[in-house]
């Protein structure tokens, strides 16, 4: 039986592997997460974790890697592509409180309470809404962060992705969707020239999530290029075959300054696949040959148009200052 080797953080893999096993009962899927033998504190930032997984892909130690798209830069290294974007799970954020603050909300936490988050984007947005709180970086996997919350006195609460908590079986309190914009879904990264694996994972593409993510990633790339470590967000909403809405925003690190706006595009899905072959099938690092090209291009153009609108309103100045302050720390 052929073995397909899957690299990732295990919490992100189970649902994807379960789907692939159901689709391909004649294949065996082997999860390889040996990188987790090294403490996350030694691995460092998410970007380094992502690079380690890509190195395993490059060395042919794994055949595919499952990522959260928010951890992937909008420009991938040469030779790699996102071969599948899975249906977006609950995209909202959750707040988990220290035991002594159970029953509280962010609004009712005491003045100067410290809230942990691994995301500049969450911190900037929430700092604006809850100026009486302090937001600090917290690192590690979900279990590590929850242990830091429960066993230490530094954090009154931490902000986590609801989908990740649900995959781990944790019950939590969900923030209202307007509290934070979001950008992400589970994506499957593969070698760009490995057509066999591309065909295998391509069936995982969820068309609606794909178009939303193309619009979001085009927005992010046009504003800041490769990096995803900036206080900005793209939020795609809409119905496939009708209208795709994209809300984007840029915030100063302390949340005091922000620019937000929304645009929409009509997405026409042809009754039949009318597109011919493409020299470069990738859009913002994503390959989706089984999805019509026209809607993908429309989604990409929506993201670029919204980025240009925010730039015309002064987004570059906010981002430049945020980048300088972040680099200084």
- Going by C-beta distance under 8 Å and a sequence separation of 6 or more, which residues neighbour residue 185? 68, 69, 85, 86, 87, 88, 89, 91, 206, 209, 212, 213
Q: Which of 14, 37, 63, 71 is catalytic?
A: 71
For residue 43, give the DSSP letter: H
Q: How far apart are CA 206 and CA 218, in angstroms?
A: 18
71 is known as an active-site residue: yes
20, 204 contact by CB (below 8 A): yes
Place of tokens 């794909």: 210
Q: How far apart are CA 299 and CA 123, in angstroms?
A: 28
- Going by C-beta distance under 8 Å and a sequence separation of 6 or more, which residues neighbour residue 199? none
Residues identified as active-site: 71
């Amino acid at each position: 039986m052929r073995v397909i080797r899957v690299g990732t953080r295990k919490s992100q893999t189970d649902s994807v592997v379960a789907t692939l096993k159901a689709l391909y009962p004649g294949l065996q899927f082997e999860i390889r997460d040996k990188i987790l033998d090294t403490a996350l504190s030694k691995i460092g930032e998410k970007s380094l974790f992502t690079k380690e997984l890509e190195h395993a892909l490059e060395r042919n130690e794994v055949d595919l890697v499952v990522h959260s798209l928010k951890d992937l830069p909008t420009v991938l290294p040469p030779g790699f592509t996102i071969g599948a974007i899975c249906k977006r799970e609950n995209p909202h954020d959750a707040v988990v409180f220290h035991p002594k603050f159970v029953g509280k909300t962010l609004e009712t936490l005491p003045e100067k309470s410290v809230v942990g988050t691994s995301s500049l984007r969450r911190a900037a947005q929430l700092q604006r809404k809850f100026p009486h709180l302090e937001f600090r970086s917290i690192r590690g996997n979900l279990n590590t962060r929850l242990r830091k919350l429960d066993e230490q006195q530094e954090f009154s609460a931490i902000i986590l992705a609801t989908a990740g908590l649900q995959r781990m079986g944790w019950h939590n309190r969900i923030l209202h969707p307007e509290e934070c914009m979001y950008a992400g879904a589970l994506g499957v990264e593969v070698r760009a020239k490995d057509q066999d694996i591309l065909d295998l994972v391509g069936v995982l593409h969820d068309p609606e999530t794909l178009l939303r993510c193309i619009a979001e990633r085009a927005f992010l790339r046009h504003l800041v290029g490769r990096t995803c470590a900036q206080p900005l967000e793209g939020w795609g909403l809409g119905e496939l075959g009708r209208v795709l809405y994209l809300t984007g925003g840029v915030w100063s690190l302390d949340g005091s300054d922000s620019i937000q706006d929304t645009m929409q595009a009509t997405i026409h899905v042809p009754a039949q696949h009318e597109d011919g072959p493409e020299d470069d099938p990738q859009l913002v690092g994503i390959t989706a040959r089984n999805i019509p090209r026209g809607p993908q291009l429309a989604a990409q153009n929506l993201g670029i148009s919204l980025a240009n609108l925010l730039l015309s309103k002064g987004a570059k100045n906010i981002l430049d200052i945020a980048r300088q302050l972040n680099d200084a720390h």
